[in-house]
Amino acid sequence: MKSFLLIFLLLIPTLLWGQSNVYKIEGNIAKVKPGTIAYVRYAVEVEKKVYSDSAQIHNGKFSITGTVDQPHLARLFIDQNSIRFYLEPGAISIISLDSVQDAVVSRSPMNIDNQKLKKILKPTDEQMTMLQREYKAATPEQKKEKGFDERFEKRSDAISAQQGKLKAQFIQANPTSMLSLYVLKDYTDWFTPEFSEVELMFSQFSEAIKTSKPGKAYAQTLAVLQTTSVGATAPEFAQPDTSGKTISLSSFRGKYVLVDFWASWCVPCRAENPNLVKNFQQYKDKNFTVLGVSLDRPNAKEAWLKAIRKDGLDWTHVSDLKHWDSEVVKQYAIRLIPQNFLIGPDGKILAKNIRGEALGVKLAELFRNKP
């Protein structure tokens, strides 16, 4: 009995450490100049703040202590180099026999799991790197060839799709890992998948994951995804048009309308605009239109109007010029642009994120037998 009590007393500091919000990074980087400062930085999205802690390096070793109330994707900076890792309560080791970008992050659960995931994704990461090098190596003449960018985009999409499958397999195989939740969140932010797809994966997580602070936050994201899933009635919104007149989504009832989220500063959006123009011209007389919703910044109305004129976007445009702070961004769970929602005459969502050839195929399917 005494021996059990002694063991329990010895474990008390460890138990308290695990239950606290304290993190401690123990670093050992071999190749670093004396007196160099190590910085760890992470952003809190909801607060729109960047936090930073630091420590001086002595004989390659450093120790940084701080507090976080949930894990964050962070970056450790030493000189001009850095490495990404997950900052979570508890002990974290970052060790390298060379510079920081070659460091191995261990001891903490999320970083151990992340090493496993990196190993799984390594073949597809190498494929993507090779594709990017191939694109950069192409001559200006080759890049001007018809279909050049589209061919590379298809190959990139195929690799991304394979990575998505591998991540889904990892999530399903690791329902008690906090990393799985973060991988799912990242996938949701980048690809805006259907509610049913990600809700199923979330439902398989342990209760500890689902009831954690990031788990509850993701549940709220799921609720928004459900309201903007295919088959749901598109959430109502109203914003000023280019002349200042308030235009509501419901005013388009009775028409097929493609709600296109874009901005004048968004390069991929501008690259997709010729395709939108082509399809608008082809189907505008068949009860189809486009509603452009711009996420341009405050005081950037002229840039917005100039982009509309330059790209020949001859349809209705609205914007409150609040950038990512626009209420419609929250309503439709917009994380990246371009994004779009094809809405039917009854106000229900028919399709999401259909671009390139997929947009023309979908519209042809809708209007094939209509005058």
Mean pLDDT of 39-45: 92
Query: Which of 227, 258, 289 is at the close of a domain?
Result: 227
Task: Supply the range of the domain harboring residue 311.
Answer: 238-367
In a domain, 233, yes or no: no
**This model's pTM is above 0.85:** no
Query: Which of 203, 227, 251 is at the close of a domain?
Result: 227
> For the chain, what is the mean pLDDT?
91
How far, CA to CA in Å, does 71 sit from each of 282, 317, 325?
A: 49, 39, 24
Gap between the Cα atoms of 231 and 344, Å rounded = 10
In a domain, 335, yes or no: yes
Q: How many CB atoms lie within 10 A of CB 350?
A: 18
- Quick one: pLDDT band at residue 14, thresholds 50, 70, 90? very low
Q: How many CB atoms lie within 10 A of CB 260?
A: 25
Can you give the pLDDT at residue 6? 41
Model confidence at 158: pLDDT above 50: yes
Ranges 125-134, 146-155, 280-289, 303-312: which has the least confidence: 146-155
Verify that 199 and 256 share a domain, yes or no: no
Model confidence at 154: pLDDT above 80: yes
Query: Which of 107, 138, 154 is at the close of a domain?
Result: 107
Domain count, the chain: 3
Helix runs in the chain, H state only: 2-19, 109-137, 140-144, 148-173, 178-191, 195-203, 207-210, 213-227, 267-283, 301-311, 327-331, 357-367
Can you give the pLDDT at residue 46? 77
Q: How many CB atoms lie within 10 A of CB 280?
A: 19
